[in-house]
Amino acid sequence: MSYETILFEVSDGVARLTLNRPDKLNAFTEQMHLEVRSAIDAAEQQGARCMLLTAAGRGFCAGQDLSARKTGPGQPRPDLGETLGKFYNPLIKKINSIEFPVVCAVNGVAAGAGANLALACDIVIAAKSAKFIQAFSKIGLIPDSGGTWVLPRLVGHARAMALTLLAEPVMADRAVEMGMIYQAVNDNELQATATAMADKLAKAPTLGLALTKQAIHAAYDNHLPDQLELERQLQRRAGHSDDYREGVAAFMEKRAPQFKGQ
Ligand code: LHQ
């Protein structure tokens, strides 16, 4: 499939998805949603073992494309619930449950749903010049795309409240300090750092990584005994994998393991 609003390729197990509407800071249109969805499906079908999400130009993503919304007098009021139900919620749920790690390289401003798209990814690295803005309150909306779920978990109640109510920009270094993202790097090192991380993950025992992701997500809802039971079940599956056998053999033989994600 050819794409107009994204760039997409799968190479050496890494699916690289680049949002590509730089003139509009990669704000989301319906077309971009459909293309991102189709690319993720293609990544799964082509056996990708890691996805790297990034964007073209000086911004990462400015959230919903507001020019697609006519809000003037006489215009019918839009059903934003429908938009979330059709596009944003499925995207966030997909990234949350996709069976390989998703690395997000935030190359510039991430605002509104763009910020929360980044925060839905498994590992977030940002250029030092990048900033995160919960822009919703500036236009009378509530944080969506999982923002009200992920932010308190990442940064705690007090900061989540202030960030969402005030909509103040948070620079990448500060986002690391707060625990909102994993790493901030010099702008000119972002793509190389994120690519190296994605390459490393794609060569890792990715079945085990998928089970790890599943366990950590489940932990938010579980009491300790339930979580211990889940770990027991998932570890049983991991222990039956080819990659576990290979990992132990390689360790004992003092050689580099060759994992296949099985
Ligand atoms: C944009 C946008 C944009 C269109 C910059 N749309 N063009 C979900 C469900 C359904 C509906 C509602 O929303 C949601 C979730 C959401 O995401 S709501 C939040 C939507 N996003 C925002 O409110 C952020 C709006 N953008 C901004 O506040 C600024 O552009 C930021 C702070 C991101 C960047 O500021 P600057 O670096 O000063 O850039 P800029 O404002 O000059 O923008 C550059 C261009 O990009 C400009 O176009 P132009 O043709 O004038 O050069 C902007 O109009 C365009 N752009 N964001 N969301």
- C-alpha 145 to ligand 1 mean position (Å): 16
Which ligand 1 atom lies nearest to the CA of residue 144?
Answer: 15
The CB of 24 under 6 Å from ligand 1? The reply is yes
pTM: 0.96
Percentage of the chain lying above the pLDDT 70 cut: 99
Residue nearest to atom 34 of ligand 1 (CA): 109
Q: Does 84 sit in the ligand 1 pocket, CB within 6 Å?
A: yes
Unique residue bearing structure tokens 């998928």? 210
98 ligand 1 Cβ < 6 A: no
Whether residue 1 is predicted with pLDDT greater than 90 in this model: the reply is no
Q: What is the mean pLDDT of the chain?
A: 96
Hey, whose CA ends up nearest to atom 48 of ligand 1?
24
Question: Is 36's pLDDT higher than 90?
Answer: yes
Q: What is the pLDDT of residue 172?
A: 98
Q: Where are the alpha helices (DSSP H) in 62-156?
A: 80-83, 89-97, 113-120, 147-155
- Residue 13: CB atoms within 10 Å: 19
Residue 31 CA to its chain's centroid (Å)? 19
139 C-beta closer than 6 A to ligand 1: yes
